[in-house]
Amino acid sequence: MNQSKIVTIERHIIEGERAHPGATGDFSGLLRDLTLAFKVIWREVSKAGLVNILGLAGKKNVHGEEVKKLDVFADEVIYRAMDHGGHLCVMASEENEDVLQIPDGYPTGKYVLLYDPLDGSSNIDALVTIGTIFSIYRRVTPGGKGTMQDCLQPGYKQIAAGYCLYGSSTMIVYTTGDGTHGFTFDPSIGEFLLSHENIKIPQRGKIYSVNEGNYRWWHDGMKKYVKYLQEEDKATNRPYSTRYIGSMVADIHRTLLFGGIFMYPGDTRNPNGKLRLMYEANPVSFIVEQAGGSSSNGISRILDIKPAALHQRTPLFVGSEDDVCIAEEFVQGKRDITSKAS
Ligand code: AFP
């Protein structure tokens, strides 16, 4: 008989919390509410090709980008699933300029939620994998409603982070600082079941993921690094293959499972790249580090960056530890293609 246990995400979270003496169950409640929001978003995303839901909502988000209907929907679903549970004191979403307050009359709690409701949404019309990304902090202000100060914490202070991928299967990957775990959704029973326990990213991969259309604006070190990856060298498994979905959450998921490196560097047009520190870089860095990988802005660890603004951007190099280390050496000009291969 197959002896492996069937574990729902809810049970996994509760058991994880039980391991911490003094835990109140508050945190489990928060993640349970989030899981419900993911199911609702999944239901709409999976209908996207069937109903007339595709197309622009006719608005621009705070970054001046076009907002799709599903972004608006996902943004609202998460807020409405999380605003009344009493677990949170404040939220912030990639789609909104300011912090999102808990409405008057609802209890506030000790946690802070930051989220990107639908990463990769420009791919919706092509039915490409997209996802919701989240990041949870403990509040730092004394009580009542939370403030910007509660949201602007460095990534190493995250107490949990994860994403829900809406792809050929739907899957939640999350960490609470005790490894990275994946749960695949079984729609027939409406549950996320443990499918990838303690994910470990390979020490070095064979795939690089970057938008090479930006090549002409890259700095020299970046150009040399990609050239290096394309050279042939059996000892270091080069050339690498390239894969770029253009939906970060999907590119990160592949990187987590197969290894290699995902990059969105700064360049001469956009010195800080495109990705947002608080909604994208911090949560995926926590997840990848917990799987044994690493993450950098090219100079230093992403999780150590002290944020100055809710929507600030950062260059991002994330994936297998050896790959990120070599990328940093190139970006910092400490290494050249002619340097001895390793
Ligand atoms: P959208 O949510 O607007 O599709 O942006 C997705 C994203 O922030 C991230 O998921 C991708 O990795 C990145 O943009 C792709 O950007 P480029 O199109 O510039 O490569």
Query: Cα of 214 to ligand 1 centre, how many Å?
Result: 13
Q: At residue 61, does pLDDT exceed 80? A: no
3-state SS of 239-307? CCEECCCCCHHHHHHHHHHHCCEEEECCCCCCCCCCCEHHHHHHHHHHHHHHCCCEEECCCCEHHHCCC
* Range with lowest mean pLDDT among 27-41, 50-64, 168-182, 226-240: 50-64
CA-proximal residue: ligand 1, atom 17 (nearest) = 246
CA-proximal residue: ligand 1, atom 16 (nearest) = 246
**Which residues have C-beta atoms less than 6 Å from ligand 1?**
65, 119-123, 211, 246-248, 274-275
Q: At residue 32, does pLDDT exceed 70? A: yes
**pLDDT confidence of residue 341:** 54
How confident is the model over 10-17, as a mean pLDDT?
86
How confident is the model over 237-259, as a mean pLDDT?
97
Nearest atom in ligand 1 to the alpha carbon of residue 276 is 8
* Best residue for ligand 1 mutational test, from 94, 252, 264, 276 (most atoms within 8 Å of Cβ): 264
Query: Cα of 120 to ligand 1 centre, how many Å?
Result: 5
Which amino acid is located at 217 in the chain? W
Nearest atom in ligand 1 to the alpha carbon of residue 65 is 3
> pLDDT category, 108, cuts 50, 70, 90?
very high
Give the model confidence (pLDDT) of 258-281 as tens digits. Answer: 999 999 999 999 999 999 999 999
Q: At residue 53, does pLDDT exceed 50? A: no
